[in-house]
């Protein structure tokens, strides 16, 4: 769009480092990781990610000093066939720079945190050799995500899109070989497969959108597509609608929207830093980025925008209700993530791209903070479990033994689950740092003034109010539930008395984990400053306006802000009324269970969506595949067609026709007759040679007489 002559300064040539710094890091760790100590592995990986962050900062600075001009940095030729030219080009503009900053910034903090987290996690799981592998995958993810956000065409975006999908698969199934009483090994690998396959459905949509784009625009490049879009929308708007809706399918897969969100809760099987980085802060927001990037397409088709907004709003509300009924600390956050992604998708669907991106950024801060704090809580519980088991019996070597000790001690739990909130309680005293960090994240997520989440969520709500009232109400109720389930979590985890011995012995996490959390907490508290709804503070709006086109920045609407704040405070109060006033006792069912009855059972069981998919899709699918395998393939194709028809015909042909008739009767007879004729002939001819010299002489005479007679009588 804006070519290089307008750009005199800047660090644009560094753009490839975004991808190659993490690649170098992962190569070092992949090759030497087993020889390095854990500190070195972690440092290399963090430095690689940190380099990407520094480059992102420099690129953002370059964009800023060049007044937001989008710059394409050609890097490599990829596919050149005839007129078709598909290159790997980096696109640096305010939107991609924002994503780069979020990905590499949050990513680097999570890398540092993971050094501490994985150090202990691999030991609790008795898998010390897995440390380096984790950081290889993590760096690979950063590289793939950078390809995604920095590509200047839908094709490169798709390459990164698939790359992060692969990393997601690898990291969800990171403990695929772990076989414990609490989680059989297939549970982890199944979660990974579920994520991958669900995303495949979404990717089908993205692929269709890509094919349609190329078919109609003749290019994958953003600039060319957006330039030609208005003309095509004028002539045949159906094409743009189809492209945007297929894109929405892709977004639903990657960003966990209805109906494809089901993989994200299961993705919590991965290590917690993965949940924070991939399944909360960055990868799942790729869908939001995709819609924002395609804003010029979506703006042309209000019908598609409306559908996107409705999908987002429905997801936000639906997932928020499920989060209320969950007991696993990470599952609550997972559904919360789905819900918040619903907010973002709804926002970009309404055309409020800045609000969506704003929420994406603040959400990356506070949800990464929440997940990492939850990881800290889980590890604290693991440590407590360790210490307690050690205390109870001075022999805790070997997982199985430990389990038995635990079983003997706490009768109410078969297998100890460090992530179950019912096992926690009172952690405020044993893990004070984590508690305060968690509080910061919770208040930001719940949308309490002046934490980051308040400003971004409020911007979305305000936009919804102006555009679609139904979306506004869904989101407002979702926000109410958000505050409620976060309150419930806080009361259950940190307040009251410890419900298990393990929780009593829980220990605080080391500094390598808490310091990155403090940085994230600071961002979660202050992140709202990026785009305050006051005159002169609409920084993000102007910044993204360089790319998305200048939009009118909305001032603070006291009505909307007041309603949402009141709802949040009310929800927190109710959660205190239910969970805080009378803390949950050990073994006591959730106090909401009785008054809400089947509604709570629905929330507890995720509204039976997985079961519904099982009945609607998986069971028929399995039946069909079984039928295909058993009847069609085995009985019909294998037994009948192959064995009976083909092999039978072949046998009949070779045995009867060719062997018996053609060979034995035909060819054999011919050659045998020829042989016996020769025998008969020679038997007769040999009689001439009788050994009597006189008979030879007679023959000679006869011959002479014949020849002479012929000559004479001629």
Partner 1 sequence: MVPVDYYVVLSAVLFSIGTLGVLSRRNPLIIFMSIELMLNAANLAFVAFASVYETFSGQIFVFFVIAVAAAEVAVGLALIVEIFKTKKNINVDEMNSLKG
| Of the residues 76, 81, 231, 688, which one makes contact with partner 1 according to CB under 8 A | 688
CB of 701 to partner 1, least distance (A): 6
Q: Considering only 245-253, 370-378, 643-651, 688-696, which stretch makes contact with partner 1 by CB under 8 A? A: 688-696
Contact between 684 and partner 1 by CB under 8 A: the answer reads no
Smallest Cα–Cα separation from 306: which of 339, 256, 341, 351?
351
Which one, 621 or 696, has the nearer CB to partner 1?
Answer: 696
Contact between 686 and partner 1 by CB under 8 A: the answer reads yes
Q: Considering only 233-241, 334-342, 490-498, 684-692, which stretch makes contact with partner 1 by CB under 8 A? A: 684-692
Give me the phi and psi of 690, to 5 degrees please: -90, -5
Which one, 653 or 698, has the nearer CB to partner 1?
Answer: 698
Q: Strand, helix or coil at 663?
A: helix
Contact between 702 and partner 1 by CB under 8 A: the answer reads no
> CA 59 to CA 98: how far, in whole Å?
10
The Cα angle at residue 478 between residues 473 and 484, in degrees rounded to 5: 130
Contact between 81 and partner 1 by CB under 8 A: the answer reads no
Contact between 8 and partner 1 by CB under 8 A: the answer reads no
Contact between 697 and partner 1 by CB under 8 A: the answer reads yes
Which one, 398 or 709, has the nearer CB to partner 1?
Answer: 709
Instruction: Report yes or no: 252 and 202 within 8 Å, Cβ to Cβ.
Output: yes
Q: Considering only 221-229, 236-244, 621-629, 696-704, which stretch makes contact with partner 1 by CB under 8 A? A: 696-704
Which one, 3 or 688, has the nearer CB to partner 1?
Answer: 688
CB of 675 to partner 1, least distance (A): 20
Place of tokens 């490049």: 221
Which one, 686 or 714, has the nearer CB to partner 1?
Answer: 686
> CA 323 to CA 48: how far, in whole Å?
35
Residue span 643-682 as binding mask against partner 1, x where in contact by CB under 8 A, dash where not = ----------------------------------------
Q: Considering only 351-359, 553-561, 622-630, 690-698, which stretch makes contact with partner 1 by CB under 8 A? A: 690-698
> CA 420 to CA 411: how far, in whole Å?
16
CB of 648 to partner 1, least distance (A): 55
- Which helix (H) or strand (E) segment holds residue 553: the answer is none
Smallest Cα–Cα separation from 308: which of 252, 238, 234, 233?
252
Give me the phi and psi of 77, to 5 degrees please: -80, 140
Instruction: Tally the C-alpha atoms within 13 A of residue 450's C-alpha that lie toward its C-beta.
Output: 9
Residue 672 CB burial class (10 angstroms; 0-12, 13-18, ≥19): exposed
CB of 695 to partner 1, least distance (A): 9
The Cα angle at residue 165 between residues 159 and 171, in degrees rounded to 5: 135
Structure tokens given for 327 = 């007991």
DSSP state of 645: I
Give me the phi and psi of 533, to 5 degrees please: -80, 45
Contact between 694 and partner 1 by CB under 8 A: the answer reads yes
CB of 669 to partner 1, least distance (A): 29
Contact between 687 and partner 1 by CB under 8 A: the answer reads yes
Q: Considering only 214-222, 442-450, 453-461, 697-705, which stretch makes contact with partner 1 by CB under 8 A? A: 697-705
Contact between 692 and partner 1 by CB under 8 A: the answer reads yes
Contact between 689 and partner 1 by CB under 8 A: the answer reads yes
CB of 683 to partner 1, least distance (A): 10
Q: Considering only 254-262, 615-623, 633-641, 692-700, which stretch makes contact with partner 1 by CB under 8 A? A: 692-700
Which one, 408 or 703, has the nearer CB to partner 1?
Answer: 703
Which one, 672 or 690, has the nearer CB to partner 1?
Answer: 690
HEC profile for 222-282? HHHHHHHHHHHHHHCHHHHHHHHHHHHHHHHHHCCCCCCCCHHHHHHHCCHHHHHHHHHHC
Cβ neighbours for 642, distance < 8 A, ≥ 6 positions apart = none
CB of 653 to partner 1, least distance (A): 47
Which one, 594 or 687, has the nearer CB to partner 1?
Answer: 687
Question: How many residues sit close enough to partner 1 to count as binding (CB under 8 A)?
Answer: 12
Structure tokens given for 449 = 């003034």
The Cα angle at residue 436 between residues 430 and 438, in degrees rounded to 5: 100
Look at the alpha carbons of 461, 466, 468, 469 in this order and tell me if their dihedral is positive or negative.
Answer: positive
Which one, 65 or 702, has the nearer CB to partner 1?
Answer: 702
Q: Considering only 256-264, 408-416, 577-585, 687-695, which stretch makes contact with partner 1 by CB under 8 A? A: 687-695
Which one, 129 or 691, has the nearer CB to partner 1?
Answer: 691
Q: What is the Cα gyration radius of the chain? A: 37
Contact between 35 and partner 1 by CB under 8 A: the answer reads no
> CA 160 to CA 167: how far, in whole Å?
10
| Of the residues 698, 706, 707, 708, which one makes contact with partner 1 according to CB under 8 A | 698
Structure tokens given for 196 = 């991958």
Which one, 594 or 694, has the nearer CB to partner 1?
Answer: 694
| Of the residues 618, 701, 706, 708, which one makes contact with partner 1 according to CB under 8 A | 701
Helix then strand count (H, E) for the chain reads 31, 2
386-425: contacts with partner 1 (CB under 8 A): none
Cis peptide before 450 (omega within 30 of 0): yes
Contact between 691 and partner 1 by CB under 8 A: the answer reads yes
Contact between 706 and partner 1 by CB under 8 A: the answer reads no
Q: Strand, helix or coil at 411?
A: coil
> CA 359 to CA 178: how far, in whole Å?
36
Binding site residues, partner 1, CB under 8 A: 686-694, 697-698, 701
């Amino acid at each position: 769009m804006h070519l290089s002559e307008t750009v005199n300064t800047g660090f644009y040539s560094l753009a490839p480092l975004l991808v190659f710094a993490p690649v170098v890091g992962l190569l070092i760790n992949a090759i030497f990781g087993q020889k390095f100590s854990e500190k070195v592995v972690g440092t290399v990986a963090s430095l690689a990610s940190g380099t990407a962050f520094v480059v992102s900062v420099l690129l953002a600075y370059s964009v800023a000093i060049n007044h937001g001009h989008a710059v394409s940095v050609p890097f490599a030729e990829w596919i050149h066939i005839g007129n078709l030219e598909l290159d790997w080009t980096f696109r640096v503009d305010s939107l991609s720079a924002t994503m780069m900053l979020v990905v590499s910034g949050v990513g680097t903090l999570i890398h540092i945190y993971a050094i501490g987290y994985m150090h202990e996690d691999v030991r609790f799981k008795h898998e010390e050799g897995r440390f380096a592998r984790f950081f290889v995958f993590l760096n690979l993810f950063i590289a793939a995500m950078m390809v995604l956000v920095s590509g200047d065409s839908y094709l490169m975006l798709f390459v990164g899109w698939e790359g992060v999908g692969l990393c997601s698969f690898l990291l969800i199934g990171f403990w695929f070989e772990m076989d414990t009483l609490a989680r059989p090994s297939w549970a982890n690998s199944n979660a990974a497969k579920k994520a991958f396959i669900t995303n495949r459905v979404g990717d089908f949509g993205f692929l269709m959108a890509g094919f349609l784009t190329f078919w109609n625009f003749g290019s994958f490049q953003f600039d060319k597509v957006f330039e030609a879009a208005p003309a095509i929308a004028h002539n045949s708007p159906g094409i743009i609608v189809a492209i945007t809706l297929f894109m929405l399918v892709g977004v639903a897969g990657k960003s966990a929207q209805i109906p494809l969100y089901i993989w994200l809760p299961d993705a919590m099987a991965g290590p917690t830093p993965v949940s924070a980085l991939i399944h909360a802060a960055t990868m799942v927001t790729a869908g939001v980025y995709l819609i924002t990037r395609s804003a010029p397409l979506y703006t042309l088709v209000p019908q598609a925008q409306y559908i996107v907004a409705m999908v987002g709003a429905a997801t936000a509300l639906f997932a928020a209700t499920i989060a209320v009924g969950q007991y696993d600390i990470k599952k609550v956050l997972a559904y919360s993530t789905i819900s918040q992604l619903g907010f973002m998708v709804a926002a970009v669907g309404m055309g409020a791209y800045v609000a969506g991106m704003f929420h994406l950024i603040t959400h990356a801060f506070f949800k990464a903070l929440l997940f990492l704090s939850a990881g800290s809580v889980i590890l604290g519980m693991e440590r407590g479990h360790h210490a307690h088991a050690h205390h109870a019996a001075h022999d805790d070597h070997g997982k199985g033994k430990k389990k038995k000790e635990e079983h003997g001690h706490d009768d109410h739990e078969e297998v100890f689950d460090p992530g179950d909130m019912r096992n926690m309680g009172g952690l405020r005293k044993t893990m004070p740092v984590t508690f305060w960090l968690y509080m910061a994240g919770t208040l930001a997520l719940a949308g309490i003034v002046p934490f980051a989440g308040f400003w971004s969520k409020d911007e979305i709500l305000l936009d919804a109010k102006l555009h679609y009232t139904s979306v506004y109400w869904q989101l407002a109720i979702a926000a109410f539930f958000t505050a409620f389930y976060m309150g419930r979590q806080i009361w259950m985890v940190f307040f009251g008395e410890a419900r298990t011995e393990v929780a009593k012995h829980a220990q605080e996490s080391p500094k390598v984990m808490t310091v990155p959390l403090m940085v994230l907490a600071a961002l979660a508290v202050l992140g709202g400053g990026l785009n305050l709804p006051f005159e002169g503070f609409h920084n993000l709006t102007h910044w993204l306006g360089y790319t998305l086109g200048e939009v009118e920045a909305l001032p603070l609407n006291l009505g909307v802000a007041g309603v949402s704040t009141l709802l949040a405070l009310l929800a927190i109060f109710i959660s205190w009324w239910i969970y805080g006033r009378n803390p949950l006792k050990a073994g006591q069912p959730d106090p909401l269970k009785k008054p809400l009855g089947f509604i709570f059972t629905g929330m507890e069981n995720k509204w039976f969506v997985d079961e519904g998919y099982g009945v609607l899709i998986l069971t028929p699918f399995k039946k069909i595949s079984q039928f295909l395998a058993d009847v069609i393939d085995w009985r019909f194709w294998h037994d009948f067609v192959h064995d009976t028809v083909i092999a039978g015909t072949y046998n009949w042909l070779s045995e009867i026709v060719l062997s018996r008739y053609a060979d034995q009767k035909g060819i054999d007879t011919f050659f045998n007759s020829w042989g016996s004729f020769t025998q008969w002939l020679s038997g007769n001819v040999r009689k001439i040679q009788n050994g009597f010299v006189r008979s030879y002489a007679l023959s000679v005479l006869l011959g002479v007489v014949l020849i002479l007679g012929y000559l004479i009588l001629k």
